[in-house]
Chains A and B, each alone.
Chain A
Amino acid sequence: MKKSFKEIVGGAVSLVTGMRITLDQFLKNFRKDHNVPYPHATLPIPDRYRGHIIFTNDEAGQSTCIACKSCEKSCPSDCIVVEGEKKEGAKKKSATIFELDFTKCSLCGSCVEVCPTDALMFSKRYNLASTSKAVYSKIDLIKDLETRMAKQGLRQPAPAQTAPIQPAPVQPTEPQQIPQETPQQ
């Protein structure tokens, strides 16, 4: 009898303690909202964030990819398709096709780590949405690099007329209007 009485009183005290804690939290959050009102505001993305891979560029605005296919071999999900050839007057091969199937990518980073020329890096793109699968199942990294370099005003890659993509401009000072099909930042 005494035990059950103590249990009732102890139980009631525990309920009141719990209510005090939630009231405390309520008042604390009522005074100041600690949340970021996404999408009206966004958080800064950490440096090492893993978005889908994109090309790095050297000072001339060109990719350092030598089309060795190490990334294609090391990918566990078979997402990468690389083809390349040695251009006239170039010392090494360069990529003519570099497509990523992001619908299969698991962001493991094998391709980034294994690349001998550090040609790949993770982007910071997280706001990815489109109405067609093709936008993400065939991300063209070469075209994406050109778009980004054009935006930054760097020189475009040397004329690569054998490439099946849009022809590079011959006047490097004018930014080329490349159709915006690649995923936007």
Chain B
Amino acid sequence: MLLTKEQALARSAHSVGGPNETFVLNLGPQHPATHGVLRVKLTMDGEFIQRAEPVCGYIHRMHEKMGENRTCAQFLPNTSRLDYLSAMQYTHAWCGIVEKACKIEVPERAEYIRVITSELNRIASHLVGWGAWVMDLGGFTPILYAFDDREKILDLMEHICGARLTFCYYRFGGVVNDVDEHFLNGAREFVPYMRERMRMYKKLVTENIILRKRIEGIGIITPDQCRRYGACGPVLRGSGINYDVRRAEPYSIYNRFDYEIPVYHECDSMARYLVRMDEIEQSLRIVEQALATIPEGPFVNPKVPKVLKVPAGDYTFATEAGRGRFMVRLVSDGSDTPYRVKLRTPCLANLSLFEETSAGMLLPDALAHMGSLDLVIPDIDR
């Protein structure tokens, strides 16, 4: 179809041209790199991003409203579906807040089981975040190795609670099933296996010059930006701020174990990458120590009332999930359903600084930067 001169001129008048013209590129909601339904409206000047506007809400499922319509026990499955990669830690927060409000004691063995399963969940979550990020950068192999390791963790979880992703394993006052020797031995074998794999990943990915050139110096997030946006988790610790809920607001029995909080001061994507890799190692240390000292005993408090009425009041509880500080706020009016459930999720805070930090970046760099924030979109939209 050949154009006449008038048609060609009319067409070029509409086209992208001139020195100061920008165009809008829509990244998502269906896009391989945004890991969920996140839409980012990029105003681009050539390959440079002038403004990145994240538009979330495509997977808003009204969990906070559901909290008002359900009893506390009925809300447990919802907690697994917020950040589905850190399901155990989110359920821990909900159980923690109700136990704190109703003054329910958790037996020792149950606390140990919770710590072991939460830390294994953290390892699985970091493996997915790492694998998916390297896949965004073009390396399609490490994600499959990560999923291979994750299979071992999920097989253990499936053995004890029957589910592989949305666990719903904790109950108020303990856990729903006891763990048996198969699980404990499997976890004991997993720790040295994972350490060996981490050595391989270090050689294959972390020290790879191509990856280093892609993420070193990219996506600087200053500590001041972190404070203004309320960033948390590895994003915060990669900018030099030593804040981990397990140390700052201790819960469960984390203060019995000897582990470090990895902090890096370079503020770039490589720092966040190394924080996550080191956190896997520290989680392995916690699991190892917990497995060595897990006591016998009941796995759930038998005196938890069937119909739980939370005393009237305003309660908060925070846990360190894979992506940062997950806090629940429960406002109760004394009836069996809460008056208000507020879920403060880490990914929304982490995403909100993307707009400021990505201004002026090249598109591939911005995507590498977004991968370093390790976003799970259902966590943003709840």
- Segment at the B interface, from A43-51, A60-68, A139-147: A43-51
Contact between B70 and A76, CB atoms less than 8 A apart: yes
Q: Which of A21, A76, A107 contacts B74 (CB 8 A)?
A: A76
Residue A153 lies at the interface, judged by CB distance under 8 Å to chain B: no
Q: A11-B209, A48-B161, A122-B162 are in contact. Are A110 and B204 (CB under 8 A)?
A: no
In the complex, chain A residues whose CB is within 8 Å of the CB of B81:
106
- For the complex, is B306 an interface residue (Cβ under 8 Å from A)? yes
Q: Do A74 and B74 form a contact, CB below 8 Å, given A22-B204, A113-B176?
A: yes
Q: Which residues of B contact A14 (CB under 8 A)?
A: 203, 207-209
Complex-state Cα separation, A48 to B179, whole angstroms: 11
Q: Which of B77, B141, B160 contacts A48 (CB 8 A)?
A: B160
Q: Count residues on chain B whose CB falls below 8 Å from chain A CBs.
A: 30
Cβ-neighbour of A18 out of B73, B158, B208 (below 8 A): B208
Task: Report the nearest B residue to A122, measured CB to CB.
Answer: B162
Q: Does A173 contact B (CB under 8 A)?
A: no
Q: Does A48 lie within 8 Å of B207, measured CB to CB? A: no
Q: B77: which of A12, A15, A76 is its contact (CB, 8 Å)?
A: A76
How many A residues touch B, CB cutoff 8 Å?
27
What chain A residues lie within 8 Å of B208 (beta carbons)? 14-15, 18
Q: Which residues of chain A have C-beta atoms less than 8 A from B160's C-beta?
A: 48
User: Which residues from 113 to 147 on chain A have a C-beta closer than 8 Å to any C-beta of chain B?
Assistant: 113-114, 122
B185 in the interface (beta carbon within 8 A):
no
Taking the closest CB of chain A, its distance from the CB of B246, in whole angstroms, is 27
Q: Is B209 within 8 A of A106, CB to CB?
A: no
In the bound assembly, the distance between CA atoms of A74 and B141 in angstroms comes to 45
In the assembled complex, which residues on chain B have CB atoms less than 8 Å from the CB atom of A46? 158-159, 162
Residues from chain B with a CB closer than 8 A to the CB of A17 are 203-204, 207
Question: Is B75 interfacial (CB 8 A cutoff)?
Answer: yes
**Chain B: which residue is nearest A106 at the CB level?**
B77
A21-B204, A25-B145, A48-B158 are known contacts; what are 11 more A-B pairs with Cβ within 8 Å? Answer: A15-B208, A15-B210, A18-B208, A22-B204, A47-B159, A48-B159, A48-B161, A50-B161, A106-B77, A109-B168, A110-B74
A to B CB contacts below 8 Å, 21 in the list: A10-B209, A15-B208, A17-B204, A17-B207, A18-B208, A21-B203, A22-B141, A25-B145, A47-B159, A48-B160, A48-B161, A48-B177, A76-B75, A76-B77, A106-B166, A107-B163, A108-B74, A110-B73, A110-B76, A113-B171, A122-B162
